[in-house]
Structure 1
Amino acid sequence: MQVLNSTGQSYPFTVTVVMPAYNEAHGIAAVVERVRDALPDAEILVVDDASTDATGAAAAAAGARVERHPANRGNGAAVKTGIRRATGDVVLLMDADGQMDPRYIPAILDGIADGYDMVVGARTRDTQGDSLPRRLGNRALDALGGYLVETEVRDLTSGYRAMRREIIMEYIHLLPNRYSYPTTSTLALLKGGHGVGFVTIEGKRRGGGQSGQKLMRNGIRFGLIILRIISLFAPLRVYFPVAVLMFSLGLLSWLLNMFLLEPARGLYIPNSALLLFVGSIIIFLFGLLAEQLAALRFQRHER
Structure 2
Amino acid sequence: MENPRLSIIIPAKNEAAAISEVVRDIMSRYPHAEVIVVNDGSTDDTAKLAQEAGATVINHPHALGNGAAVKRGAREASGDTLVFLDGDGQHNPADIPRLLERLDQGFDMVVGARAGASSHANTGRLMANGVYNLVASMVTGQAIPDLTSGFRAAKAQKFRQYLYLLPNGFSYPTTITMAFMRSGYPVDFIDIKAAKRKGKSHIRPVRDGIRFLMIIFKIATLYAPLKLFLPASALFFLTGVGYYFFTYVTQGRFTNMSLLLFSAAVIVFLIGLISEQITSLNYKDAENLAGPRQGTSSAPPQIKATD
Question: TM-score normalized by structure 2?
Answer: 0.86
- 1:179 CA displacement: 1.1
Query: CA, structure 1 residues 201+67, in 2 after alignment: closer, same or farther (shift >3 Å)?
Result: same
**CA deviation string 1:132-188 (max 9, x = no partner):** 222111101111111222322121111001111111111111111121111111111
In structure 2, the residue matched to 1:126 is: 117
CA distance in 1, matches of 2:195, 2:255: 57
- 1:225 CA displacement: 3.7
Residues 99 and 153 in structure 2, CA contact (< 8 A), matched pair in contact too: yes
Could you tell me which of 259, 274, 290 is aligned with 1:289?
Answer: 274
Query: CA, structure 1 residues 297+71, in 2 after alignment: closer, same or farther (shift >3 Å)?
Result: closer
CA distance in 2, matches of 1:199, 1:35: 19
**CA deviation string 1:191-239 (max 9, x = no partner):** 1211111010111111222x12134532432442453364354221121
Moved more, 125-134 or 269-278: 125-134
Could you tell me which of 193, 198, 221 is aligned with 1:231?
Answer: 221
Could you tell me which of 72, 76, 85 is aligned with 1:81?
Answer: 72
Residue type of the partner of 1:286? I
Query: CA, structure 1 residues 129+299, in 2 after alignment: closer, same or farther (shift >3 Å)?
Result: closer
In structure 1, the residue matched to 2:44 is: 53
- 1:296 CA displacement: 3.9
Residue type of the partner of 2:188? G
Aligned pair 1:220/2:205, yes or no?
no
Number of aligned residues: 287
CA distance in 2, matches of 1:169, 1:229: 20
CA distance in 2, matches of 1:127, 1:139: 14
Residue type of the partner of 1:164? K
In structure 1, the residue matched to 2:11 is: 20
With a CA cutoff of 8 Å and minimum separation of 6, indicate the structure with the bigger relative contact order: 2
- 1:290 CA displacement: 2.4
Structure 2 unaligned blocks of 5 or more: 289-307
SS state at 2:153 partner: strand
Could you tell me which of 177, 185, 199 is aligned with 2:190?
Answer: 199
- 1:38 CA displacement: 2.7
CA distance in 2, matches of 1:254, 1:94: 56
Structure 1 unaligned blocks of 5 or more: 4-12
In structure 2, the residue matched to 1:246 is: 236
In structure 2, the residue matched to 1:90 is: 81
Query: CA, structure 1 residues 114+21, in 2 after alignment: closer, same or farther (shift >3 Å)?
Result: same
In structure 1, the residue matched to 2:163 is: 172
**CA deviation string 1:240-275 (max 9, x = no partner):** 11111111222222233334xx1xx33x22322221
Query: CA, structure 1 residues 216+257, in 2 after alignment: closer, same or farther (shift >3 Å)?
Result: farther
Residue type of the partner of 1:48? N
SS state at 1:248 partner: helix
Residues 183 and 226 in structure 1, CA contact (< 8 A), matched pair in contact too: no
SS state at 1:127 partner: helix
SS state at 2:50 partner: helix
Residue type of the partner of 1:17? I
Residues 46 and 64 in structure 1, CA contact (< 8 A), matched pair in contact too: yes
Query: CA, structure 1 residues 295+173, in 2 after alignment: closer, same or farther (shift >3 Å)?
Result: closer
Query: CA, structure 1 residues 151+223, in 2 after alignment: closer, same or farther (shift >3 Å)?
Result: farther
**CA deviation string 1:60-107 (max 9, x = no partner):** 111111111112211111111101101111110011110111121111
SS state at 2:195 partner: coil
Could you tell me which of 129, 145, 158 is aligned with 1:154?
Answer: 145
CA distance in 2, matches of 1:26, 1:300: 41
RMSD: 2.1
